[in-house]
């Protein structure tokens, strides 16, 4: 766990690029760039950067942001229970051979329905009902992180788990605020949607409160809320993970409102018999997808960018580009396993570099 958090911390630093020229410009208006980082939520590093005239004003916004983030973290947690909260852990729990129908917070209803939309949009590539399969890989990866060695999930175990991944078995009743999973073998794993969705909801709440000039970076899910006080856009660098690269960034995105999300094979993985097995699992093969090193999506919706970056990662390049080019308001850059870059039709219009 410590290894993963250290790696994610390095990624969070590399993911952001701030223009020194813009900083001086903002100071001329009486604003200061301030920052707060928390390590308690979504098992990753979460950083808020914003421009305010005083630390007190920034602290008030930061308190609101991290209070909301804590609430989403507890609701969407699949590993831990919390007092008086029917969260995803409770939904996944099997009691006397079956799941229970639970009354849940509206934010859980919204996430599951959003995840179902992402499933349909991606043709099943993003599937939050794959918990039975993903848990086998998670256990192996945790064993590797703790001990430095592990066993891979067996093909038989993966195929048996894959029989219990039908998202239609996840029944949502918005009117009565209930969730029920009819197949006791299914568990939810919202790793492909929850962090991005929570980031988007918090960003929208800031916008609703009239708060601007902030950047949320929650574990590499970057969402910008308004331009800087100087009127300048934010610059968001997309990390180049190639060891032989002379430039830390593949591209730099200039934006005042977009989300930038990257899925990669280079942060969370295990090593078995000298081969790396990363955490993004192809729903067709049940093994780590083998097309890309990283996939970055830029969208006006952080939740959609999160879901799409995972989905595209599991698709051959032609299929991936066809999908992203069919979606309004979303662009993508894909770095394949041979080190070649591929772009959606409108990607270059968003970049500085």
DSSP 108: H
| Phi, then psi, of 232 in degrees rounded to 5 | -75, 150
pLDDT category at 26 given cuts 50, 70, 90 is low
CATH number of the domain that 245 lies in?
3.10.520.10
Task: Give the pLDDT of residue 350.
Answer: 85
Q: What is the mean pLDDT of residues 309-320?
A: 98
Greater confidence, 4 or 193? 193
Answer yes or no: is pLDDT of 17 > 50. Answer: no
Q: Residue 229's Cα: distance from chain center in Å?
A: 28
Task: Give the pLDDT of residue 11.
Answer: 44
What's the angle, vertex CA 305, arms to CA 85 and CA 203, rounded to 5?
60
Asked, for residue 63, whether it belongs to a domain, the answer is no
Task: Give the pLDDT of residue 244.
Answer: 82
pLDDT tens for residues 322-350?
A: 999 999 999 999 999 999 999 999 998 88
Asked, for residue 124, whether it belongs to a domain, the answer is no
* Summary mean pLDDT of the chain: 92
Burial (CB count <10 Å: 0-12, 13-18, 19+), residue 124: middle
Query: In percent, how much of the chain has pLDDT > 90?
Result: 87
Asked, for residue 61, whether it belongs to a domain, the answer is no
Q: How many structural domains comprise the chain?
A: 1
Asked, for residue 146, whether it belongs to a domain, the answer is no
Asked, for residue 93, whether it belongs to a domain, the answer is no
Beta-carbon contacts of 245 under 8 Å, excluding residues fewer than 6 positions away, are none
pLDDT tens for residues 175-222?
A: 999 999 999 999 999 999 999 999 999 999 999 999 999 999 999 899
Asked, for residue 179, whether it belongs to a domain, the answer is no
Q: Select the highest-mean-pLDDT range: 175-179, 267-271, 349-353.
A: 175-179
Q: What is the mean pLDDT of residues 140-168?
A: 96
Asked, for residue 134, whether it belongs to a domain, the answer is no
Range of the domain at 325: 2-55+193-350
Radius of gyration of the chain from its Cα atoms, rounded to whole angstroms = 20
Asked, for residue 33, whether it belongs to a domain, the answer is yes
pLDDT tens for residues 87-129?
A: 999 999 999 999 999 999 999 999 999 999 999 999 999 999 9
* Best CA proximity match to 325, nearest among 339, 312, 341, 340: 312
Q: What is the mean pLDDT of residues 79-91?
A: 97
* Residue with token string 């962090």: 195
* Sheet strands (E) in the chain: 32-38, 46-52, 94-95, 98-99, 102-103, 170-173, 178-181, 214-218, 221-225, 234-239, 249-255, 259-264, 269-272, 275-278, 292-299, 330-336, 341-343
Answer yes or no: is pLDDT of 25 > 60. Answer: no
Question: How far is the C-alpha of 130 from the C-alpha of 282, rounded, in Å?
Answer: 11
pLDDT category at 29 given cuts 50, 70, 90 is low
């Amino acid at each position: 766990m410590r290894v993963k958090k250290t790696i994610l911390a390095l990624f969070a630093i590399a993911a952001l690029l701030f223009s020194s020229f813009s900083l001086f410009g903002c100071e001329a208006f009486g604003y200061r760039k301030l920052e707060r980082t928390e390590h308690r939520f979504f098992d990753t590093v979460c950083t808020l950067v914003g421009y305010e005239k005083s630390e007190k004003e920034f602290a008030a916004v930061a308190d609101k942001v991290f209070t909301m983030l804590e609430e989403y973290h507890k609701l969407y947690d699949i590993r831990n229970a919390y007092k008086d909260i029917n969260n995803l852990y409770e939904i996944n729990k099997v009691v006397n051979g079956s799941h229970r129908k639970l009354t849940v917070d509206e934010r859980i209803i919204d996430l599951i329905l959003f995840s179902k939309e992402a499933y349909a949009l991606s043709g099943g590539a993003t599937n939050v009902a794959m918990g039975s399969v993903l848990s086998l890989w998670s256990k192996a990866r945790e064993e590797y992180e703790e001990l430095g060695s592990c066993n891979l999930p067996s093909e038989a175990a993966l195929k048996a788990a894959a029989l219990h991944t039908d998202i239609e078995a996840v029944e949502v009743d918005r009117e009565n605020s209930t969730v029920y999973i009819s197949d006791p073998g299914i568990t939810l794993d919202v790793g492909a949607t929850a962090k991005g969705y929570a980031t988007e909801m918090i960003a929208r709440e800031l916008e609703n409160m009239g708060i601007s000039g902030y950047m949320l970076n929650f574990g590499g899910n970057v969402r910008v809320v308004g331009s800087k006080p100087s009127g300048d856009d934010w610059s968001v660098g997309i990390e180049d993970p190639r060891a032989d690269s002379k430039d830390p960034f593949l591209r730099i995105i200039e934006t005042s409102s977009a989300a930038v999300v990257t899925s990669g094979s280079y942060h969370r993985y295990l090593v078995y018999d000298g081969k790396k097995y990363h955490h993004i699992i192809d729903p067709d093969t049940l093994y780590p997808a083998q097309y890309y090193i990283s996939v970055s999506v830029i969208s006006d919706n952080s939740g959609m960018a999160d879901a799409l970056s995972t989905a595209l990662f599991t698709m051959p390049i032609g299929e991936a580009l066809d999908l992203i080019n069919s979606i309004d308001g979303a662009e993508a850059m894909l770095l394949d396993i041979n080190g070649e870059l591929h772009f959606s039709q409108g990607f270059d219009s968003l970049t500085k570099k």
